[in-house]
Amino acid sequence: MINYRTIAVIKRELKEKLLSKGFIIMTIMLPLLMFGFIGLQTFLMTFDGGERQKIEIITESEELGKKLETELKDYEFIKDSSVVSSFITMDSGALTSYLEIRNDDLISESLSGIMFIPDSALVNKKIYYYSKAPKSIRMLDRFNGPINKVLVETYFSTRDIPPEELQFARMNVDITKFKISEEEGIKEEGFGNLVLAYLFTFLLYISLLMMGSMMMQSVIQEKTNRIVEVLLSSVTSRELLAGKIIGSTITGVLQMLIWLSPVIMLISTTWFALPEELTLDVTGGQILYLLINFLIGLATYLGLFGTIGSIFDSPQDAQSGMWPIMMLIIIPFFISMSMIENPSNPIAGISSMLPFASIIVMPAKMTLVDVPLWQFLVSIVVNLATLILIFPVAGKIYRVGLLWTGKKPKWSEVIKWIKYKY
Amino acid sequence: MIALEVKNLRKTFGNLVAVDDASFEVPEGSIFGLLGRNGAGKTTTIRMIMNIYLPESGEVIYKGIQSGPEFNSKVGYLPEERGLYKKMKVIDTLNFFAEVKGKTGRTVAKKAKEYLERFELADRANSKIEDLSKGNQQKVQFIATILHDPEILILDELFSGLDPINTNLLKEIILEMKEKGKVILFSTHIMDFAEKMCDHIAIIDKGKIKLNGSMRDIKKKYSQGNVSLNYEGDISFLSGHPLVEQISDYGNTTGIKLKNADESQDLLKLLVERGINVKRFDANDISLQEIFIDTVGKEKNNGGAL
């Protein structure tokens, strides 16, 4: 199947894709965009609208209010006055009428919220927050710590407890994370690998979607520009499909290699020192595995996208046909994301060795847990088998589809094509 | 000697029999016309010759080779549905189409340059296809078809959408190729071109080959007792006249079938006596158009018999 005709097609594909402005721009822009999005997301989450938030803290006992005021002084959000707090002492009985007075201010958001800390909080730690947006996680997060601290201190100050013990009670649990692996024994784990898991998942996901839809467009274009019959008089449909897949796969893998080159440099050289917490625990062999598995997977997906392209006459029609294959990329993406939350997720464990899914899931998995060698081999064999099984079927549909014009075919018809002697 | 042999090809699409038991032979060094109306089965036949469609039965043999990739590499094929990569440069396009036929290197580059000059496209070699006019795109397409120096040219509806100047240029090159001993097979529904260029034809209708052989033999057979006439005046008196068997109006000419082949002089005399202004009177001659219409029958919208 690989002969001078296929090679000519591969060369043309490479010339069109690899040397195109689009490729160069995408290769450079994607990492920037990714960091841009992460940055934007962080920015949006921390964005206060630039204006100060005013909050009134009402306590039943003046002493509690004073303590809280003193405690809050050291907090960054009070210091930079992104939150301005004022303290009032009031009985719980007066609160209802006070809330009525302040109602308009709360509605107009000139006052962000009123927090009421009754004396009973010293027994049950129940406090009340009145606001137009009472679910503001940020706001509550900010006050949760200091209020708790003041309540705890006040509570224990009346009891005769040594300061060391109080200190102990105040402390949060500090978990130091260790990763147990076969080769290296017990090792302290930073969150460098968490970053890697995200990075691999996103890059694989985006690349598959991008290369796939490019392949589909390219097939549709050949069909609608009527190039296809000229081509088919020189190359067989299988040679054409193989040539296009190989050309795009080379492009995609090369792009992935460029994207991963910072990671490869970080793990293979000592030129850049990362803080200990961010140390990347991934081997060159694993990166190689990622590329090989990606190569096989990309070729398979490209075959599917190319086939979908051949069935339809226009990108609009193809959109609907593309969905099943998109799901084969999107679902593994979400499995991979869920695994980042919980690496021992059994669905992720199984899907890391299933066809299609393993391409995205396994690379994330290998950064989070110790994956035995046999699992890598299984996923490669499974993906290779999928490619070998799918290619002839895809080639059959592709051949019929390319010369199919007119009415949009039904799926049942497409399945019949497989049996056609065309 | 027979170069290309088409044997008993058959192809159906669902219930439609597109080509039914089609056989014909294309002799070496000939220009062969596959003639038929739109939808007669020309393109399907040619696609089977090119192995783009697999025939349900029958085979295509070129000098002992079955149709397939090896045969295809010897063919310059211009399909009816044709196109080029819009974003590719002219020169890259030409190189690519030569390369898929297994031809690369300096000879191809030299040839490409020659052809571009001949087609007055030399200065557009580095232009993108999409920046060329439609006519120029057609020229590039044609160069791409012949650049790899094919042994056999297969041209499906070659002249559709070409202006007269390009048509002449193409004719010129096709005749040159014939002189070089190449085989040329083209399909058309325009009988004028076929008449001027082909030395062998096959007429296909509703998937069946109705007639095939050398133009000379076919004409000889059909021209007996036929008069091809151009005139001014009213010849309605001829219908039912004892000399005449049938009168057919072919548009440009009128064909008169005589009852007796020797009586063409009597017909001419009769026409002159009746004051008909005879512009052309070819006895024992018949145009391909006439043969074609006689063979496949008239289409209803052409007015029917006179």
- Is the CB of A403 inside 8 Å of chain B's CB atoms? yes
For strand B254-258 and strand B226-232, is the pairing parallel, antiparallel, or unpaired?
antiparallel
Q: How far apart are CA B40 and CA B60, in angstroms?
A: 19
Tens digit of each residue's pLDDT (9 = 90 or more) over B128-138: 999 999 889 98
Question: In sequence order, what are the residues at sequence separation of 6 or more whose Cβ sits closer than 8 angstroms to the Cβ of residue A412?
Answer: none
Regarding whether A251 and A310 lie in a shared domain, the answer is yes
Mean pLDDT of A40-69: 78
Q: What's the pLDDT tens digit per position in A37-46? A: 777 777 776 6
Q: Which residue among A226, A234, A422 places its CB closest to the CB of B100?
A: A234
pLDDT at A36 over 90: no
Closest Cα partner for B154 from B207, B79, B54? B79
**Reduced to 3 states, what is the DSSP secondary structure of residue B63?**
coil
Residue with tokens 């206060």: A48
Give the CATH number, domain containing residue A109.
3.40.190
- Kindly state the tokens that stand for B281: 């009177």
Report chain A residues whose CB lies below 8 A from the CB of B48.
none
Which amino acid appears at position A409 of this protein? P
A353 falls within a domain: yes
A416 touches chain B (CB under 8 A): no
β-sheet bridge partners, residue B155 = B78, B186
Least Cα distance to A336 among A204, A209, A201 occurs for A201
The mean pLDDT value for A227-249 works out to 92
Model confidence over B60-71: pLDDT tens digits? Answer: 999 988 888 889
Between the CA of residue A415 and those of A62, A216, A237, A326, A419, what are the distances in Å?
A: 79, 19, 18, 19, 8
Length of chain A: 422
Helix (H) or strand (E) holding A85: strand A83-89
Q: Do A9 and B100 touch (CB under 8 A)?
A: yes
Q: Which candidate, A307, A326, A299, A308, places its Cα nearest to that of A384?
A: A299
Q: Which domain does A393 fall in, by range?
A: 4-31+192-417
Round to the nearest angstrom and report the end-to-end CA distance of chain A: 19
Report how far residue B106's alpha carbon sits from residue B92's, in angstroms, rounded to the nearest whole number: 14
Query: Is ipTM over 0.90?
Result: no
In a shared domain, residues A332 and A224? yes
Q: Do A16 and A93 fall into the same domain?
A: no
pLDDT in tens, A393-420: 998 899 888 888 767 788 888 888 877 7
Q: At what angle do helices B134-146 and B164-179 cross, to 10 degrees?
A: 10
**In this complex, do B100 and A225 lie within 8 Å of one another by their Cβ atoms?**
no
Please give the structure tokens belonging to residue B38.
Answer: 């739109």
Compute the nearest-CA separation of A228 from chain B (Å). Answer: 8
- Measured between beta carbons, which residues in chain A are less than 8 angstroms from residue B85? 12, 16, 225, 227
Within 13 Å and on the Cβ side, how many CA atoms surround A415? Answer: 3
**Domain spanning B224-302, CATH architecture:** 2-Layer Sandwich (3.30)
Residues of B in contact with A16 (CB under 8 A): 85, 87-88
Find out whether B260 and B225 touch, Cβ atoms under 8 Å.
Answer: yes
- Specify if A143 maps to a domain: yes
> Which tens digit of pLDDT belongs to each residue from B163-218?
777 788 888 888 999 999 999 999 988 888 888 889 999 999 999 999 999 998 99
Tell me, yes or no, whether A258 and A154 share the same domain. no
**Amino acid symbol at A93:** G
Q: Are residues A129 and A256 in the same domain?
A: no
Residue B298, pLDDT > 70, answer no
- Pair (A198, A145) in one structural domain: no
A232 lies within 8 A of chain B by CB: yes
Q: From residue A243, how far is each of A165, A225, B96 by CA, in Å?
A: 72, 19, 13
Cα B88-B90-B92 angle, rounded to 5 deg: 65
DSSP conformation class of B261: G
The reply to whether A230 touches chain B by the CB within 8 Å rule is: yes
Rounded-to-integer distance, Cα B192 and Cα B290, Å: 11
On whether the CB atoms of residues B126 and B91 are closer than 8 A, the answer is: yes
- What is the pairing mode between strands B65-66 and B75-78? unpaired
Task: Report the pLDDT value the prediction gives residue A49, as an integer from 0 to 100.
Answer: 57
A165 with A300, same domain? Answer: no
Rounded Cα–Cα distance for residues A267 and A400 (Å)? 48
Q: Which pLDDT belongs to residue B300?
A: 43
CB contact under 8 A, B96 and A12: yes
CB-based contact, A229 to chain B, within 8 Å:
yes
C-alpha dist (Å) from residue B160 to A223, A382, A410, B79, B296: 20, 51, 33, 11, 21
Q: What is the pLDDT of residue B302?
A: 42
CB atoms B75 and A233 under 8 Å? yes
Confidence check: pLDDT of B306 > 50: no
Residue A5 to residue B84, Cβ atoms within 8 A:
no
Subunit contact B82:A226, Cβ cutoff 8 A: yes
Interface of B with A (CB under 8 A): 47, 50-54, 56, 69, 72-73, 75, 77-79, 81-88, 92, 96-97, 99-102, 141, 144
CB of A9 less than 8 A from some CB of B: yes
* Digit-coded pLDDT (tens) for A318-333: 888 888 899 999 999 9
Task: Tell me if A43 is assigned to some domain.
Answer: no
Q: How close is the nearest chain A Cα to the Cα of B148, in Å? A: 11
User: In whole angstroms, what is the distance from residue A334 CA to residue A74 CA?
Assistant: 41
CB A203 within 8 A of CB A260: yes
Residue in the block written with tokens 């005589």? B258
With respect to residue A131, please indicate whether it lies within any of the assigned structural domains.
yes
Percent over 70 (pLDDT), chain A: 91
Establish if A421 touches chain B: CB-CB under 8 angstroms: yes
If you measure CA to CA, which chain B residue comes closest to A232? B52
- The verdict on A54 touching B (C-beta cutoff 8 Å) is no
Kindly determine whether residue B50 and residue A234, on different chains, have CB atoms separated by under 8 Å. Answer: no
Contacts of A410 in chain B (CB under 8 A): none
C-alpha B34/C-alpha B208 separation (Å) is 12
Domain ranges of chain B: 2-214, 224-302
Which of B13, B16, B42, B52 should be substituted to probe chain A, the one whose Cβ sees the most A Cβ atoms within 10 Å?
B52
Instruction: Give chain B positions within 8 Å (CB) of A400.
Output: none
* From A230, A403, A421, residue closest to B82, measured CB to CB: A230
For residue B50, which residues of chain A lie inside 8 Å, CB to CB?
232-233
The predicted-structure confidence for B227-246, as pLDDT tens digits, reads as follows 888 888 888 888 888 888 88
Helix (H, G, I), strand (E, B) or coil at B173: helix
Please answer whether residues A105 and A56 qualify as being in contact, where contact means their C-beta atoms are separated by less than 8 angstroms.
Answer: no
Q: Closest-CA residue in chain A for B84?
A: A227
Q: What are phi and psi of B276, to 5 degrees?
A: -80, 135
Cα–Cα distance measured from residue B141 to residue A69, given in angstroms and rounded to the nearest whole number = 83
pLDDT at B90: 95
Residues of A in contact with B51 (CB under 8 A): 236
d(CA A148, CA A71): 11
Residue B305 pLDDT > 90: no
Note whether B73 contacts A231, CB cutoff 8 Å: no
Collapse the DSSP code of B38 into the 3-class scheme (helix H, G, I; strand E, B; otherwise coil) and give the result.
coil
- Under DSSP, the state recorded for A278 is G
Shared domain for A385 and A321, answered yes or no, is: yes
Q: How far apart are CA A313 and CA A292, in angstroms?
A: 33
Both tokens assigned to A26: 């995408």
For B93, name the nearest residue in chain A, comparing CA atoms only: A12
CA distance B229 to B241: 16
Single-letter residue type at A140: L
Q: Tell me the nearest-neighbour CA distance from A6 into chain B, angstroms.
A: 8
Residues 70-89 of A with CB under 8 A from B: none
Cβ of B88 within 8 Å of Cβ of A235? The answer is: no
Closest chain B residue to A400, measured at CA: B53
Using CB atoms, pick whichever of B56, B86, B101 lies closest to residue A234: B101
Domain assignment present for A38: no
Q: How confident is residue B301, by pLDDT bands cut at 50, 70 and 90?
A: very low
With a cut of 90, say whether residue B152 has pLDDT above it: yes
Across the beta sheet with B152-156, the strand order is B75-78, B152-156, B183-188, B31-35, B200-205, B208-214
Q: Is the pLDDT of residue A274 over 70?
A: no
3-state DSSP assignment of residue A9: helix
Domain total of chain A: 2
pLDDT at A187: 57
Inform me whether the pLDDT recorded for A89 exceeds 80.
Answer: yes
Check CB contact under 8 Å for B88 and A16: yes
B254 beta partners: B229, B249
**Alpha helices, H only, B147-303:** 164-179, 191-197, 215-223, 264-273, 288-296
Asked if B54 and A15 come within 8 Å (Cβ–Cβ), the reply is no
Tokens representing A2 are: 């690989």
How many beta-carbon contacts under 8 Å exist across A and B?
68
Nearest to B304 by CA among B249, B254, B258, B257: B249
Per-residue HEC secondary structure of B91-115 comes to HHHHHHHHHCCCCCCHHHHHHHHHH
**Side chain identity, residue B75:** V
* Residue closest to B287 by CA, chosen among B238, B244, B230: B230
**Which of B83, B92, B99 lies nearest to residue A227, judging by beta carbons?**
B83
Is the Cβ pair B100, A235 closer than 8 Å?
yes
Is A259:A31 a contact under the CB 8 Å cutoff? yes
Indicate whether A45 belongs to any domain.
no
CB proximity A412 to B under 8 Å: no
| Residues A300 and A407 grouped into a single domain | yes
Strand pairing report for A113-117 and A53-59? parallel
Give the separation between CA B61 and CA B54, rounded to whole angstroms. 14
| Whether the Cβ atoms of residue B242 and residue B259 lie closer than 8 Å to each other | yes
> Which among B47, B72, B78 has the least Cβ separation from residue A234?
B72
Tell me the pLDDT tens digit for each residue of A171-195. 777 777 676 665 555 555 667 778 8
Do β-strands B2-13 and B226-232 pair in parallel, antiparallel, or remain unpaired?
Answer: unpaired
Contact at CB, B73 and A421, closer than 8 angstroms: no
* Phi, psi at A196, each rounded to 5°: -60, -45
For domain B2-214, give the CATH number.
Answer: 3.40.50.300
Let me know whether A338 and A407 are in one domain.
Answer: yes
Q: Look up residue B68 and give its amino acid.
A: G
Convert the pLDDT of each residue in A347-376 to its tens digit. Answer: 888 888 898 898 999 998 888 888 888 989
Distance CA B168, CA B32 (A): 18
Task: Tell me if B100 and A5 make a contact (CB, 8 A cut-off).
Answer: yes
Pick the residue from chain B with its C-alpha nearest to A399. B52
**From the list B56, B84, B99, which residue is nearest A227 (CB)?**
B84
